[in-house]
């Protein structure tokens, strides 16, 4: 953008528009409050106010997304773990399944390390990692999707074999379909006498999920989360499906990702669980998270251990932010803290003044780039 209105420029300079109009008049320019000023006029006024450009901000501060499109060469790409979300109807066993997976795959010694629940965790199967997102209930999933945050590579739909397809099962299927992620069906509670997996498969067929045995392409795995049965097979299927997706990321680039959850902690301040989606996040990194910013002060992994860095598909809990971001917010690492701060502050402003038009969101910083 090469122009700003008088009112917009006044706002940027923290001056009254009338003052600017007066100044412009003195400089020989007749202007009204809504008049668009060209670059020359803007420069004239800024020079008159002694406004200096301290730094160049190469990133459009209103659009963190642009930073997501960092150029990455093919050679930099490495395989990354799949990110899996577990969904399903109330009481069908989502939490039990997650617990069962964790118990099967996290060794006893490590299990003691799980001090707090961080909403996301990783397990290792045959030397390959899988990331599970815990909390995203349907609401959180919808919010994230509405914000364009694609965090999941694969959805597990849990259906209780004794209960069958219920309203939230259908909701979950629709979420997964809308997100265009592959679906694996886990038919749970197979240990129950009243379990009727055929009925579940029949019902799901009506929703477009047809088992391979019946000529479809949906993978169904019978499990018992309670007894830990079928869990290994389910994990194998997750790896199989994600290999087809050829999930890649570039550990070498600066980190980007999404907030899984965040809250204010009495002692530690703003605490955010982030899913690193690309690049490597490091302690000390200047970061913008939604409209919050800061430096990554400390990083804790899903086992409650302190870590110094976190690569693609890794969930970590960080502290060091000036404010509490929201689930679904994106994060971006910047080259230096000053830039992160200025971007963060601008984003906070933008959030406050959400009703401003596209054009008005042009910042002086962008404009000054060419000066």
Q: What is the DSSP string of 223-253?
A: -BTTTTBSHHHHHHHHHHHHHHHT-EE-TTS
Q: Has 137 been labeled as part of a binding site?
A: yes
Q: Has 29 been labeled as part of a binding site?
A: no
Write the binding mask 204 to 243 for ligand GTP: x where contact by CB under 6 A, - elsewhere.
Answer: --------------------xxx-----------------
Residue 49, both tokens = 């106010």
State the nearest-atom distance from the C-beta of 164 to Mg ion, in Å.
19
Only segment of 17-25, 86-94, 265-273, 303-311 that touches ligand GTP (CB under 6 A) = 86-94
Q: Residue 324 in contact with residue 301, Cβ under 8 Å? A: no
> What span, in angstroms and rounded, lies between the C-alpha atoms of 71 and 84?
26
Q: Has 134 been labeled as part of a binding site?
A: yes
Residues 58-97 interacting with Mg ion (rule: CB under 5 A) = 94-95
Q: Which is nearer to ligand GTP, 92 or 347 (CB)?
A: 92
**By CB under 6 A, residue 191 contacts ligand GTP:** yes
Q: Has 150 been labeled as part of a binding site?
A: no
Q: Among 153, 198, 157, which residue's Cα sits nearest to residue 180?
A: 153
**By CB under 6 A, residue 94 contacts ligand GTP:** yes
Helical pair 94-105 and 231-245, crossing angle rounded to 10 deg: 90
Pairing state of beta strands 286-289 and 330-333?
A: antiparallel
Q: Which is nearer to ligand GTP, 163 or 278 (CB)?
A: 163
State the nearest-atom distance from the C-beta of 94 to Mg ion, in Å.
5
State the nearest-atom distance from the C-beta of 158 to ligand GTP, in Å.
6
Residues 39-68 interacting with ligand GTP (rule: CB under 6 A) = none
Q: Has 205 been labeled as part of a binding site?
A: no
**By CB under 6 A, residue 95 contacts ligand GTP:** yes
Q: Which is nearer to ligand GTP, 9 or 195 (CB)?
A: 195
> What span, in angstroms and rounded, lies between the C-alpha atoms of 336 and 254?
12
Write the binding mask 126 to 155 for ligand GTP: x where contact by CB under 6 A, - elsewhere.
Answer: ------------------------------
State the nearest-atom distance from the C-beta of 153 to ligand GTP, in Å.
21
Q: Which is nearer to ligand GTP, 222 or 315 (CB)?
A: 222
Q: Has 129 been labeled as part of a binding site?
A: no
User: Residues 124, 126, 129, 134: what is their CA dihedral angle, to the nearest 10 degrees?
Assistant: -50
**By CB under 5 A, residue 137 contacts Mg ion:** no
User: What are the C-alpha distances in Å from 312 to residues 14, 251, 285?
Assistant: 41, 6, 15
**By CB under 6 A, residue 188 contacts ligand GTP:** yes
State the nearest-atom distance from the C-beta of 95 to Mg ion, in Å.
3
Q: How many residues make contact with ligand GTP (CB under 6 A)?
A: 15
User: What are the C-alpha distances in Å from 289 to residues 25, 265, 366?
Assistant: 42, 17, 21
State the nearest-atom distance from the C-beta of 134 to Mg ion, in Å.
9
**By CB under 5 A, residue 117 contacts Mg ion:** no
At 96, give phi and psi (nearest 5°): -60, -40
DSSP 35: P
User: What are the C-alpha distances in Å from 217 to residues 176, 183, 188, 223, 232?
Assistant: 15, 10, 20, 19, 20
Q: Has 189 been labeled as part of a binding site?
A: yes
Residues recorded for the chain? 371
> What span, in angstroms and rounded, lies between the C-alpha atoms of 177 and 27?
60
Q: Has 175 been labeled as part of a binding site?
A: no
Q: Among 200, 190, 209, which residue's Cα sits nearest to residue 166?
A: 200
Q: What's the first-to-final CA gap in the chain, in angstroms?
A: 13
Q: Among 60, 56, 57, 35, which residue's Cα sits nearest to residue 45?
A: 35
Residue ranges for the known binding site are 88-95, 134-138, 188-191
Known binding residues for GTP are 88-95, 134-138, 188-191
The residues binding Mg ion (CB under 5 A) are 94-95
**Positions that interact with ligand GTP (CB under 6 A):** 88, 90-96, 188-189, 191-192, 224-226
């Amino acid at each position: 953008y090469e122009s700003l209105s008088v009112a917009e420029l006044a706002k940027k300079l923290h001056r009254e528009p009338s003052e600017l109009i007066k100044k412009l008049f003195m400089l020989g320019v007749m202007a009204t409050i809504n008049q668009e000023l060209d670059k020359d006029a803007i420069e004239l006024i800024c020079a008159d106010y002694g406004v200096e450009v301290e730094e160049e901000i190469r990133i459009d501060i209103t659009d963190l997304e642009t930073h997501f499109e960092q150029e990455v060469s093919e050679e930099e790409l490495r395989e990354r773990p799949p990110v899996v979300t577990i969904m399903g109807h109330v009481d069908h066993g989502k939490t039990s399944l997650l617990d069962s997976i964790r118990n099967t795959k996290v060794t006893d010694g490590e299990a003691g390390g799980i001090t707090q629940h961080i909403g996301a965790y990783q397990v290792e199967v045959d030397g390959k990692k899988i990331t599970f997102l815990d909390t995203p209930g349907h609401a959180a999933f919808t919010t994230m999707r509405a914000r364009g945050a694609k965090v999941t590579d694969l959805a597990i739909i849990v259906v209780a074999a004794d209960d069958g397809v219920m309203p939230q099962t259908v909701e979950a299927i629709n979420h997964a379909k809308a997100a265009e992620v592959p679906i694996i069906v886990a038919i749970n509670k197979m240990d129950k006498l009243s379990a009727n997996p055929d009925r579940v498969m029949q019902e799901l067929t009506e929703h477009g999920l047809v088992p391979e045995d019946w000529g479809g392409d949906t993978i169904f795995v019978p499990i018992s989360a309670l007894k830990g049965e079928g869990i290994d097979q389910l994990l194998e299927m997750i790896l199989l499906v994600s290999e087809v997706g050829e999930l890649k990321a570039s550990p070498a680039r600066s980190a980007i990702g999404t907030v899984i959850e965040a809250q204010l902690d009495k002692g530690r301040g703003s605490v955010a669980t982030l899913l690193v989606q690309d690049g490597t996040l490091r302690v000390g990194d200047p970061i913008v998270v939604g409209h919050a910013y800061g430096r990554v002060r400390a990083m804790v992994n899903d086992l409650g251990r302190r870590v110094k860095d976190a690569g693609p598909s890794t969930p970590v809990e960080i502290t060091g932010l000036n404010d509490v971001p929201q689930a679904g917010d994106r994060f971006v690492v910047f080259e230096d803290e000053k830039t992160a701060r200025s971007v963060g502050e601008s984003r906070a402003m933008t959030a406050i003044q959400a009703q401003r038009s596209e054009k008005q969101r042009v910042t002086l910083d962008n404009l000054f780039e060419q000066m």
